Amino acid sequence: MYLSPEIKQNIFKEHGGEETNTGSPESQIALFTHRIDHLTKHLKANKKDINTRRSLILLVGKRRKLLNYLKDKEIDRYREIIKKLNIRK
């Protein structure tokens, strides 16, 4: 399993502040980024997997919505998460 509970806890602890802070935009963006990276690697090996490609596009859209929300509310937190996760705008 690529996303074990331990990996999730580490992501939430690193980006959300603590393990129980699972709803913060930063922790959700970090989790989506981890999943996007995994799906991208999968699609490089399996080019004809259309369902996974659709899931990847949906995840990118969800992450983009959260990033836009964070940019509108607190620009400093947005810039910090972009830099930390190395997401290009």
Q: pLDDT tens track of the chain, all 89 residues?
A: 678 889 888 888 888 887 778 889 999 999 999 999 999 999 999 999 999 999 999 999 999 999 999 999 999 999 999 999 999 86
pTM of the model: 0.91
Give how many domains the chain has, as a whole number.
1
For residue 43, give its domain range.
5-85
Secondary structure of the chain in HEC code, one letter for each residue = CCCCHHHHHHHHHHHHCCCCCCCCHHHHHHHHHHHHHHHHHHHHHCCCCHHHHHHHHHHHHHHHHHHHHHHHHCHHHHHHHHHHHCCCC
CATH number of residue 44's parent domain: 1.10.287.10
Predicted local distance difference test score (pLDDT) of residue 1: 63
